[in-house]
């Protein structure tokens, strides 16, 4: 179970990471977070006791190498639709002979002194999560998950629904069936099925249901969504206490 960062501030990273969740994703795909900010967030997440993961904006070997070199425990790679794309994502994370990740000396290696240890552990311990968020990925899910080195799948519910012509209709039977196909194939192959539970008000109910269904890699809301939800709840209480005759603000 993990948190989700969309704001590149060390204090926010520390708060989310210290919550007791297992990992925190730094989202580079749908935010303005850049590689330099990822480097600043990594130590804050680690020091607070959580594992830093990064959602890269695309399946790009040079970018995946860069975030791994900065100390990411693993990556989420968006919009994987074919076995070849999945294999390229795995190869970008793993060192030879399992992959093609270039060798450098960066933060993950203690800037040099921990190189041997990092190189030795990387192929066993680094995490590769493939995001399956298009109807083409659902059609090819068996072949995608046959690729060695995938640790978890991650359903992108909004993109998946949009690819099916049902944008935002997350409870539509066809969208739910597509998600079920990914979940079932993941479980069949011993790969952790993942999903993002978006809206804070619904997370408690959805989390219980998702765990019961078999999901094991679950992102809970995001920093911005949880912050907004909390303050809107407080504002609602303020309006209630002020009464109907009070000014709107």
Q: What residue ranges do the domains of the chain occupy?
A: 2-242
Which of 207, 241, 220, 246 is closest to 5 using CA atoms? Answer: 220
In a 10 Å sphere around its CB, with 0-12 CB exposed, 13-18 middle and 19+ buried, how is residue 51 labelled? middle
The pLDDT tens digits of the residues spanning 170-190 come to 889 999 999 999 999 999 999
What band does 157 get if pLDDT is binned at 50, 70 and 90? confident
Higher pLDDT, 170 or 133: 133
pLDDT of res. 156: 86
Mean pLDDT of 77-97: 98
What band does 134 get if pLDDT is binned at 50, 70 and 90? very high
CA 1, CA 204: separation in Å to the nearest integer?
Answer: 13
Q: Which of 30, 109, 134, 172 is catalytic?
A: 30
pLDDT of res. 1: 96
User: Residue 3, by phi and psi: left (phi above 0), alpha (psi -120 to 50) or beta?
Assistant: beta
Indicate if the pLDDT at residue 165 is higher than 60.
yes
CA 210, CA 189: separation in Å to the nearest integer?
Answer: 18
Indicate if the pLDDT at residue 248 is higher than 60.
no
pTM: predicted TM-score of the whole model, two decimal places: 0.93
Mean pLDDT of 34-47: 96
CA 104, CA 41: separation in Å to the nearest integer?
Answer: 20
pLDDT of res. 241: 96
Mean pLDDT of 69-77: 97
Mean pLDDT of 132-137: 96
- pLDDT > 70: percent of the chain: 98
pLDDT of res. 245: 66
Indicate if the pLDDT at residue 140 is higher than 70.
yes
What band does 244 get if pLDDT is binned at 50, 70 and 90? confident
The CATH code belonging to domain 2-242 is: 3.20.20.60
**Catalytic site includes residue 30:** yes
Indicate if the pLDDT at residue 59 is higher than 90.
yes
Indicate if the pLDDT at residue 246 is higher than 90.
no
Q: What is the mean pLDDT of the chain?
A: 95
pLDDT of res. 247: 59
- The sign of the dihedral angle between the CA atoms of 98, 102, 107, 113 is positive
């Amino acid at each position: 179970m993990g948190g989700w960062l969309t704001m590149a501030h060390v204090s926010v990273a520390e708060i989310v990471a210290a919550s007791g969740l297992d990992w925190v994703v730094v989202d580079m795909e749908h935010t303005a977070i850049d590689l330099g900010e990822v480097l600043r967030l990594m130590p804050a997440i680690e020091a607070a006791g959580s594992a830093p993961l990064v959602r890269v904006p695309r399946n790009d070997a040079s970018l995946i190498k860069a975030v791994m070199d900065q100390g990411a425990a693993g990556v989420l790679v968006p919009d994987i639709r074919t076995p070849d794309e999945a294999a390229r994502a795995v190869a970008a994370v793993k060192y030879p002979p399992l992959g093609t990740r270039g060798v450098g000396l960066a933060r993950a290696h203690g800037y040099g002194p921990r190189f041997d240890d990092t190189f030795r552990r990387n192929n066993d311990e680094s995490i590769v999560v493939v995001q399956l968020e298009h109807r083409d990925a659902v059609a090819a899910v068996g072949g995608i998950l046959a690729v060695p080195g995938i640790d978890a799948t991650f359903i992108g519910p909004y993109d998946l629904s949009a690819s099916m012509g049902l944008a935002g209709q997350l409870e539509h039977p066809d969208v739910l069936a597509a998600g079920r196909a990914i979940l079932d194939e993941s479980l069949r192959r011993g790969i952790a099925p993942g999903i993002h539970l978006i809206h804070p008000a619904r997370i408690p109910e959805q989390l219980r249901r998702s765990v019961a269904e078999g999901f094991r890699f679950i992102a809970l809301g995001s920093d911005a969504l949880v912050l907004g939800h909390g303050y809107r709840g407080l504002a609602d209480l303020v309006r209630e206490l002020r009464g109907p005759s009070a000014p709107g603000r």
